[in-house]
Structure 1
Amino acid sequence: MNTSVNRFFEGIKGKTVAFIGIGTSNLPLIKLFADKGAKVKALDRKDFEALGENGVLAKEYGAELILGDCYLDNIDADIVFRSPGTPFYKPELVAVRESGNVLTSEMEVFFELCPCKTIAVTGSDGKTTTTTIISEFLKAAGKTVHLGGNIGKPLLPEIESIDADDYAVVELSSFQLISMRQSPDVAVVTNLAPNHLDIHKDMQEYIDSKRNIVLHQSAFSKAVVNLDNEIANSFSENVRGQLCKFSVKEQLSNGAYLDGTTICYSDYGKVTRIMDISDIRIPGMHNVENYLAAISAVWGMVDVDTIVKVAKEFGGVAHRAEFVREYKGVRYYK
């Protein structure tokens, strides 16, 4: 086992660890920490009946349930795991930080412990598809991929089985990024526009949260930003390592771009013509942008033939438009 992982789990034995929210994403964490010898508290606004099977499972895993409207009052725990949907500046969470106890999240701990290369995607639109395309590229290239974050299952319960040669590919929301002080090896910013302003204090807080994806990178890291989006492109000034851009409007010296209908990648001036946009199975110029972002992220890790193969075969993320067939020159989607 990774030494850091072993040391972490040894350290939480006997500690009181609280999880805010008893949803499907927290249940594996509740079980993990209970199994590792922590005294687990599970907090939720819902009552036991409303929680249904989740409440039953949390109790079976050994958690002490704290339920109802006052579930966040006077949280007594050494470590508190904030769920992404709980506002970072909620007074009860501010009180936890001011008390000197640890307020963290699954992704923060995962990034601290992860032994393999991390690739993370954020943005207002396109992040789920881009994250999935990156994962598909790497899997098709024969890599072992752990997909998680704001998409799929929590990754921390898998940490003991992750090897140094694997890849962790994660989607990160502004709610996850707001408190993160460690950035991924490869950061991708698809685009940024006003979003979640009913929860964030203002647009600046939203932007600053997203900026954390590049802010804590090192000189050995890589950042991919959208040249065509003013806010995303502004993150370029915060990049410490390799900076790649992608664009459907301009040719680039370093990154993926469109030349007519051909997707190209310029590696510091060395241009590779990859494929025509008609090779991409999923429809829409927004998905061309998603491919440009994903290609920029994995360039040097995945060969061109693999990129083209995935583009032709990948049918898209569930509940998005899916190609069915082409008949008499007309492409049909469902």
Structure 2
Amino acid sequence: MSSTIQDYLASLRGKRVAVIGIGVSNTPLIKMLLRSGIEVTACDKRQRDDFAGQAEELESLGAELRLGSDYLEGLDHDVIFRTPGLRPDVPELIAAKERGSVITSEMEVFFQVCPCKTIAVTGSDGKTTTTTIIAELLKAAGKSVYVGGNIGRPLLPDVDGMEPGDIAVLELSSFQLMTMEQSPDIAVITNLAPNHLDVHKSMEEYIAAKKNIFTHQGPGGLLVLNADNGITSGFASEARGRVTLFSRRTEPEKGVFVKDGAIWVRNDMHERPVLYLENILLPGEHNVENYMAAIAALDGLVPDQVVRDFAAKFAGVEHRIELVRTLRGVRYYNDSIASSPSRTIAGLRSFKEKVLLIAGGYDKHIPFDVLGPEVVEHVKALFLTGDTAPKIRAAVERAPGYRPDALPIQEYSSFDGAVLAACQAAQSGDVVILSPACASFDRFKNFMERGAAFKKIIYGLE
């Protein structure tokens, strides 16, 4: 195993390397390899016309491009970097491995060569906000911090400039974790619920991937778990290092909990209040949990006063219950990140009043049964669009207490149509929220593009 990035790059010279996926996470990797004198074949299922000038730029640096539907055919390279969106057991990768290829990824190599402390966050909901809170708290405490993984930018090209005293804060998806053979120094699992079952073969496989964030820790590692989640609470017995639990419902013997309107920390030495809930700017109980997870991970690394000062002014991450605009007494929120029922439920529970909800999108084969009762309780009008609109409607109509006169449901063929209908129905004092409970891929490249489309419509209202 290489000890530095330079050692690793030197080990690749003279070998044939393939990088699958020419996207946000792999383009900097491709350029770094090429500039290090390594022979690279960049593979992507998209056609050349989809890359604008990017294809020509990579070719000018020396890359060989393999584009189109047959981009995986004949893989026989010495080392193959897998994009997180590609399952490791596709036939082409299995065949390449049987021929002797080493299958890896940008994130796996990062963990091999990273010279500093690593903190990583995974979960079904709250990953990005928790990762951001952790990173920003460390920065506010004067630490040198690198943020990446599933958010920000890939960190492997930055490794050469990292020092042992720095801290790398990472958000890790189940797809990145599936083949990981190393775990971070501090691992955080916010929660787990059915998600990405359009890609994972089963819920069991999804959970197994998430557990990779801690299964390779040593005795000195720290695992932060949500004690209120039926899945994550059971991981404590499998941990190889220390475990800290956080809970809104109970008071762990050692961990983080809510008492007397504040978030408390209890450890071997004492217990103390760290952050009063009334001073958290972000709305919603799920954001209380995000702060609890961050506080559990950073106890002893960040002073309590830094936490208090930050929480009072941090307004959140874009596309996560983001207040877009208030117009004629109506508040419009962008929660496009909500690509699962559990995420939308958290968003709905963030408001005291019933909301006008815009939902629906790409079908990840997740059941919507749990969403139905929450919509009945928290929504005054439902506007559906996308592939999953009929499934969400059916779940709501099956829910106990549903009455058509109390909760009108409308379906629209276009995203714009659903948004505009919700806007037209809203009256002063109402909340309109885009919280789809589904992925965006039926109509958008990602949740960010979907959120941007929503915001454009809202900003265009007169």
Structure 2 counterparts to residues 131-150 of structure 1, below 5 A: 131-150=131-150
After superposition, the C-alpha distances for 1:246-280 in whole angstroms (9 at most, x for unaligned) are: 00001122111101321101113611111211111
Moved more, 22-31 or 174-183: 22-31
Q: Which residue in 2 is equivalent to 1:31?
A: 31
Q: Partners of 1:76 and 1:91 in 2: how far apart?
A: 13
Instruction: Supply the distance in 2 between the matched residues of 1:291 and 1:196 (Cα, whole angstroms).
Output: 25
Task: Give the deviation of 1:85 after TM superposition.
Answer: 0.4
Residue of structure 1 equivalent to 2:127: 127
Distance 1:242 1:266 in 2: 14
Q: Name 2:43's counterpart in structure 1.
A: 43
Partner in structure 2 of residue 187 of structure 1: 187
Counterpart position of 1:153: 153
- The 8 Å contact of residues 12 and 36 in structure 1, kept in 2 or not, is answered as no
Separation in 1 of the partners of 2:280 and 2:100?
51
Q: Larger radius of gyration, structure 1 or 2?
A: 2
- Superposition deviation, residue 74 in structure 1: 1.3
User: Is the 8 Å Cα contact of residues 281 and 312 (structure 1) preserved in structure 2?
Assistant: yes
Which amino acid in 2 is paired with 1:118?
Answer: T
**Paired letter, 2:297:** A
Greater Cα offset, 250-259 or 164-173 = 250-259
Distance 1:260 1:22, change over 3 A: same
Are 1:185 and 1:222, in contact at CA under 8 Å, matched by a contact in 2? yes
1:119-140 deviation per Cα after TM superposition (whole angstroms, max 9, x unaligned): 0000000011000000011000
Aligned mates of 1:257, 1:287 — CA distance in 2 = 14
CA shift, 1:78, in A, is 0.9
Distance 1:323 1:31 in 2: 38
Write the distance in 2 (CA, Å) between the matches of 1:115 and 1:333. 44
Q: How far apart are the structure 2 equivalents of 1:3 and 1:232?
A: 33
Spell out structure 1 runs of 4+ moving beyond 6 A.
none
Q: Counterpart amino acid of 2:159?
A: I
Equivalent residues of 1:122, 1:172 under 8 A apart: yes
Q: Deviations over 1:276-308 (max 9, x none)?
A: 111111110000000000000011100100111
Return the alpha-carbon distance in structure 2 between the equivalents of residues 53 and 316 of structure 1. 34
Distance between the aligned counterparts of 1:249 and 1:61, measured in 2? 56
Deviation digits for residues 217-252 of structure 1 (CA, Å, limit 9, x no counterpart): 000100000000011111112211110010000112
| 1:171 counterpart residue number | 171
Residue 71 of structure 1 corresponds to which residue in structure 2?
Answer: 71
Within-5 A mapping of 1:288-303: 288-303=288-303
Q: TM-score, normalised by structure 1?
A: 0.94
Q: Which runs of 5+ in 2 are unaligned?
A: 334-462
- Residues 121 and 170 in structure 2, CA contact (< 8 A), matched pair in contact too: yes
Aligned residue in 2 for 1:19: 19
Higher relative contact order structure (alpha carbons within 8 Å, sequence separation ≥ 6)? 1
Shift of 1:333: 7.8
Give the match's secondary structure for 2:312.
helix
With normalisation by structure 2, the TM-score equals: 0.69
Number of matched pairs? 328
Is 1:56 aligned with 2:56?
yes
Alignment of 1:1-334 (within 5 A): 4-268=4-268, 270-322=270-322, 334=333
In 2: Cα distance, 1:143 partner to 1:37 partner: 34
| Distance of 1:164 and 1:11 partners within structure 2 | 23
Kindly state the Cα deviation for residue 321 of structure 1 after the two structures are TM-superposed: 2.7
Deviation digits for residues 64-87 of structure 1 (CA, Å, limit 9, x no counterpart): 001111110111211100000011
Partner Cα separation in structure 2 for residue 244 and residue 3 of structure 1: 30
Q: Residue in 1 aligned with 2:374?
A: none
